[in-house]
Amino acid sequence: MLEGLMRLIAARPLAQIARDLIDILIVAYVIYRALLVLRGTRAMQMGIGLGIVFLLYLAARTFQLTTLNTILSWLLGSIILVIVVVFQNDIRRALIRMGSKAWLSGGREQQSRVIDEVVAAATELARHRMGAIIAFEQDANVLEFCKSEGIPIESFVTRELLVSMFVPESVNKLHDGAVLIRDLKIARAGVFFPMPETKVLDASLGSRHRAALGITEETDAVVVVVSEERGTISCCFSGNIVLNLDGNSLRTMLLGQFGRASRRKQPSSTRRPSGARASSPPPPPPRVPSQPARPTSSPSLIPPPTTPRIAGPVTARIGPVSSAMPRATLSGETSSSATTTPRPVPQSSFVPQESIPPPPPSSDRSAGSTPSDRAPATLPGGAATTARASDDAQRPPPGEES
């Protein structure tokens, strides 16, 4: 077989071979673009049905099934008219895209700008906990599956315009619906998508997430959803959903879905960390060896000295006091530091009368009586004191001893 192909190529001129290759490439490209237009749409199912009819026609001719061959021949004779009627919307959309600026120039920069505006709007809406649903239409016609086509906008995609459409005000009739982006422009707003009927969904997903999953099951659209309750960003495509996205992750996912996985280079000063880096906790600070706490001079932190505390009223001892004798303290008073020298008590001091019990009555008041047997003397201030005299004070003067 290979030898026959080589003989056929050698027998044909080089110009004819080049024309055949160009012809094959053009037909392959047209079929490829047609499959992209029909992918994820109801027209794709119709195309599969037409393919089955064509296979039946070939089988009828091969096995010489006369009746079936005649019927299918009548049907396939007008196949061009059938294709135009069935796929009129898809053919019109494909022709519009062929003549658009994005098709001719590739629209890489414009596509990146639109994605950046959508990511900025979704991030701001999530920060303010305002629900939103933004759909990117690709090859399939999303409006064929919508319950409400909304209001035509036909405007450039900007962050301010997207945020204003989802402000939850009573006068804003567009915030409950979805925004449809077609050909890198805001085509419609206030669009309502169908809910999925058969797929079992998580109970925590709201109506916006369900509507986004429903439209991505029917078409090839990519939908960005902002949760009003949790303030999170999600992305739906092909009946799947990715939850809890940040701005960088959403941008990378949208570029990957639109066939451009490589990110546009950003200045290092303005580049934000990725989702994994942003979610990781910061490294712990270095540990400093702990030092023992120094004792403070506060009396409450120093244990009391060995000197016993004297409770009750102020009392004093009359007479010579040794320097080692502790100072009398008030009731509830904390003693000073152990290094403080106690203050000596004076020879006589005023003390309350109740603190000194009265002496027992005695008739002997001679010179030989002790100072403690004497009655306390009442002073003008109303207080009483006891004078402890020395032995020299009790003796008579030298001239009166006889």
Domain ranges of the chain: 2-101, 106-263
CA atoms within 13 A on the CB side of 170: 0
Q: What confidence score (pLDDT) does residue 187 get?
A: 93
Per-residue pLDDT at 94 exceeds 80 = no
Q: What confidence score (pLDDT) does residue 315 get?
A: 42
Beta-sheet pairing, 222-226 with 178-182: unpaired
Alpha-carbon distance of 13 to 171, in angstroms, equals 73
| Ranges 160-169, 178-187, 254-263, 364-373: which has the least confidence | 364-373
| Ranges 155-159, 273-277, 390-394: which has the least confidence | 273-277
Minimal CA–CA distance to 175: which of 192, 187, 160, 158? 192
Asked if residue 333 lies in contact with residue 314, where contact means CB atoms within 8 angstroms, the answer is no
Exposed (0-12), middle (13-18) or buried (19+): which is 122, by Cβ within 10 Å? Answer: buried
Mean pLDDT of the chain: 70
| CATH number, domain 106-263, options 3.40.1700.10, 3.40.50.9100, 3.40.718.10, 3.40.50.300 | 3.40.1700.10
Beta-sheet pairing, 233-237 with 178-182: unpaired
> pLDDT, tens digit, for every residue of 53-63?
889 989 999 99
* Strand, helix or coil for residue 175: coil
Tokens of 1: 């077989």
Task: Characterize 178-210 residue by residue with b for buried, 16 or more Cβ atoms within 10 angstroms of its Cβ, and e for exposed.
Answer: bbbbbbbebbbbbbbbeebeeeeeeeebeebbb
- Tell me the pLDDT band of 289, cut-offs 50, 70 and 90: very low
Minimal CA–CA distance to 36: which of 185, 184, 236, 220? 220
Task: Please calculate the CA angle 87-93-96 and round it to the nearest 5 degrees.
Answer: 140
Per-residue pLDDT at 332 exceeds 80 = no
Alpha-carbon distance of 92 to 99, in angstroms, equals 11
